[in-house]
Amino acid sequence: MRGARALVLGAGGQLGRALMATAPEGVSATGVTRHECDISNPDAVRQCVAECDPAWVINAAAYTAVDDAEDVPDTAFAVNADGPRYLAQACAASGIRLLHVSTDFVFDGKTGSPYATDAVAAPLGVYGDSKWRGERAVAASGANHVIVRTSWVYAPSGRNFVLTMLRLMREHKVVRVVNDQTGAPTLSRGLAEVCWSLVRHPEARGVFHWSDAGAITWYEFACGIRDEALSLGLLTAPVSVEPIPTEAFPTKAKRPAYSALDASGTVATLGVAQRPWREGLRDMLGSLAMQGGV
């Protein structure tokens, strides 16, 4: 009997850890890491799903090294496109409900306004393209599914912009951050709670968007990190944050210039409100301060 069993793939990542920490009362969540289940291996996926026999599966497993993906496209497509297809097929065959996590990078960033869930995808690089193909594979599988696109995810641990900025601000008196790429930060814990609500919602179908509230640039995000970190004692001295154009910080992969997501459908479906990004940041940094910093 499946009961209220759930399988979380990618449990070692920052969202996966948040999903395991926020599993609703009464839900028995089994988390597997990429080392325990390689989703690019169809046999491993089928075995993992069969052994857990869950009612719900949340796929937080992904290849997320955006720039590295340009050099190893086969790896990115194997994890981000083939993996979700194998997982969705396994879920469809057994009548299991699937929630698959995707990204704002499926868009090219040329609209200048928040992307609706039915906006035309036009990824700029390998990472975005691989995630878009993964979305399409899930949608075509016949599985009872939800796809959640999100952006700029961060957590108290792992590799993310907030922790990188804290490290750089402790090492340098000046940090330079791009000021012509706009999006919305998303605290992993809040995203995890929304994922649980959606996967367990009997009427939720198709694509949903989620982020914290407020479209800002990376520069504005960095300024917020500095100010909150100073107020909490995570930084001992002021740091100058200088805005720069994308051209001054070249990367292998192109980033969308504007990738804020319209989450109104999620808000309406779940009856929840998006939290202001600064509040989420303050809480996350506050938890770091309580733990003695990073």
The DSSP code for 261 is: B
Which candidate in 86, 115, 127, 258 is catalytic?
127
- Residue 104 · residue 153 · CB < 8 Å: no
Q: Which amino acid is at 74?
A: D
Which residues fall within 8 angstroms of residue 115, CB to CB, at 6 or more apart?
Answer: 104, 107, 209, 259, 260, 261, 262
Q: In the chain, how many H helices and how many E strands? A: 10, 12
* Of the candidates 114, 72, 36, 144, the residue with the CA atom closest to the CA atom of residue 274: 114
b/e per residue, 225-261, with b = 16+ CB within 10 A? Answer: bbbbbeebebbeeebebebeeeeeeeeebbbbbbbbb
Task: Indicate if 115 belongs to the active site.
Answer: no
- Phi-psi bin for 131: left (phi > 0), alpha (psi -120 to 50), beta? alpha
Which residues fall within 8 angstroms of residue 71, CB to CB, at 6 or more apart?
Answer: 252
Looking at the annotation, which residues are catalytic?
A: 127
